[in-house]
A and B are shown apart, each in its own frame.
Chain A
Amino acid sequence: MSIDFPGSTSEEGGRTILGNWASGLAPKSTFPGECTLSKQVAAAGSPQGAERKIHSAYDDPGTPEEISRRSFMANATLAIGGIVGLGLVIPIVGSLLPEGASSKGTWSPLTADELKSLQEATSKPVKLEFQLKSKDSYLPEQSNGEYVWGIKTNKQTFDSARTDLPTSGELPFSDGTYDVINMNFVILSPICPHLGCRPVWNDSATRFQCPCHGSQFAFSGEHVAGPAPRGMDPLPLREQSGLAQIMWIRYESGVPNRVIISYQS
């Protein structure tokens, strides 16, 4: 608690800021008490006014007993502040911990039209629009329009292009693992693996180009230029009683590995 204070005007040339002051050892000349007292006397209507000097409580260092009592009171006051502060910091920090993400993905059906456009796809990726149900904190469940890219390919072409994907062609997700290629289709997430913008397909360049930082991806979603750390992320596709269904997954951006962070948009 004892810290030298070189800027002091005290005759002693140095004193402590909190320690001695708190316990009442500080020398007389270092306190503005006199001034305060003069004001008070003036306010009380003293005939002598500001000229009259009154003994300030801070002029008298007090008995050793008083000094040790003050030292205790100073420390106790600081301790009380600390305890109350801690009592508030704990619930505040606890409340700020994020809500857990839902750990189970949901399958969203593609409409017959969207499925048809996927089946008729050629050498261009197809933008597939669908309704994604999502639950955002306390808000009621909502259905929002979302889209993914669908490409028509075959295992040989795709595997040779996407060397960043496992050779087994399977990725893990909440229901187990999914085949990246299903029925000769691959569904690609529209989210750029760099920092989460949305690359757009450029017909003349035959590239996905990200408008934010210029990452480029070829037809199969392989990373060919720009800062993205990995290729575009494949999403699960399945056939269920004649309907094509896809699952929306958000992967962590900016890292080379695919880490699932959420099944919400």
Chain B
Amino acid sequence: MTLHSHTPKNQDSSTKHVSRAAHFKMLDVILKRHQYRQDALIEILHQVQDLFGYLETDLLRYIAQCLRLPLSRVYGVATFYHLFSLAPRGTHRCVVCTGTACYVKGAAALLTTVEQFAHIHAGETTPDHCLSVSTTRCPGTCGLAPIVVFDDQVCGYQTPNSVRDRLKPLLKQT
């Protein structure tokens, strides 16, 4: 999951039309900007994921080659951190905060509502790639607890009903 405000969803849809070759060109720019430094691996993976949506094995192989790192190391890092995804994610994202403040204010019920409504569990994507559901441990806006993040937008004071209303239009689109 990601909460990057600088990658709004309209960017996702516009980059879709860009060809794969162009994406790879941008990947090279990213690598060059980081001067192929091995310690910049995590920064590079962040930017590549923003670009491609997720980290395919081929991409990891390419990055490993360019940074002169063993693939095992790149794969190890990509799988260690929660924010990196090795599988394609849905067009829309619903992230339920399960931080302490949200938890004492009923985050568990919200998560159950989302899971039942979308018929998937946290960490999964609907078969039509419309929606990904995940959890996060606190983006730090506890004043608005319980919160749910829909497509990078933090929504506060959520209830099972408000969550359902928000999800309906997201699930309809394909």
A, B from the same assembly: no
Interface residues of B (CB under 8 A from A): none
